[in-house]
Amino acid sequence: MSALTAASASPSSMPLNPNPYGLKPNEVSSGTTIMAVPYPGGVVLGADSRVSTGTYVANRASDKIAQLTDRIFCCRSGSAADTQALTDYVKHYLQQWEVEAGRPATVKVAAHLMRKICYQNKDNLSAGVIVGGWDPVDGGTVYNIPLGGTCIQMSCAVGGSGSTYIYGLTDALHKPDMTKAEALAFVKKAISHAMARDGSSGGIIRTAVVEEAGVEREYIPGDQLPYGP
């Protein structure tokens, strides 16, 4: 509000923020575009592959889709260190859960564990995660867990810095009960558009299709994106 009313402020007199992403010194961020869409019978997860430290691209082909159990995955955005630690913890707790319960974990349990850790450590974490997978109880489900630790089940979840550029596109293109092929094409298209506009997203598009029968992982090279550059 004060910025709008300060009519005398000119671009040269307003200081630039040297750390727009709130990164600690030398911290690596997956400024990212991640996405997950459930369809009847499974889930499609997608992500870009750029990992940046400020303007330097630390890794141009990273894998931001992490596996938590046989049929549950999570897309990671925000601090790479924080999300890797989170993924390790949740993977560990889910393994223990499966041993005790004697059956495969459900996506709901995975999402709840992820959310609990994110919420309880919200002051020290910078992590936005999308948990998606298939289980025999609820079928294909997706939970979006942004900064702060809310957990919302969604029929189309996007996250990361690039997601802001494609909210309109996903709202327009998403329809309920898409087929596997439609959902996959939708994810690839949306992430391409985000990568075209977001400086922190780029590289290749990695996808994972998770259903009862198994998991298919593939990637689209940077020169074959549905929408480029």
Partner 1 sequence: FSKGKKKKEEIRMASAGAGYDLSPTTFSPDGRIFQVSYAQKSVSTSGTSLGILCSDGVVLACEKLKNSKMLLPSSGRRLHSVGAGYGCAVTGFASDGRQIVNRAREEVSSYKDTYGILPPPSVLADRLGHYVHYFTLHGALRPFGATATVASYDSDMKECKLHQIDPSGTCHSYYAC
User: Measured from the CB atom, is 138 or 177 closer to partner 1?
Assistant: 138
User: Measured from the CB atom, is 134 or 165 closer to partner 1?
Assistant: 134
Q: Is 32 a catalytic residue?
A: yes
Q: Left, alpha or beta for 15 (phi > 0: left; psi -120 to 50: alpha)?
A: beta
What is the dihedral angle through the alpha carbons of 183, 188, 189, 190, rounded to the nearest 10 degrees? 90
Closest approach of partner 1 to the CB of residue 115, in Å: 8
In the chain the first and final C-alpha atoms are separated, in Å, by: 36
How many other CB atoms are there within 10 angstroms of residue 38's CB atom?
28
Closest approach of partner 1 to the CB of residue 131, in Å: 12
Interface residue list for partner 1 (CB under 8 A):
97, 100-103, 106, 108-109, 111-113, 116, 137
Closest approach of partner 1 to the CB of residue 103, in Å: 7
Choose the catalytic residue: 32, 69, 170, 207. 32
Distances (CA, A) of 35 to 104, 167, 209: 24, 11, 12
User: Measured from the CB atom, is 101 or 152 closer to partner 1?
Assistant: 101
Which residue numbers are catalytic? 32
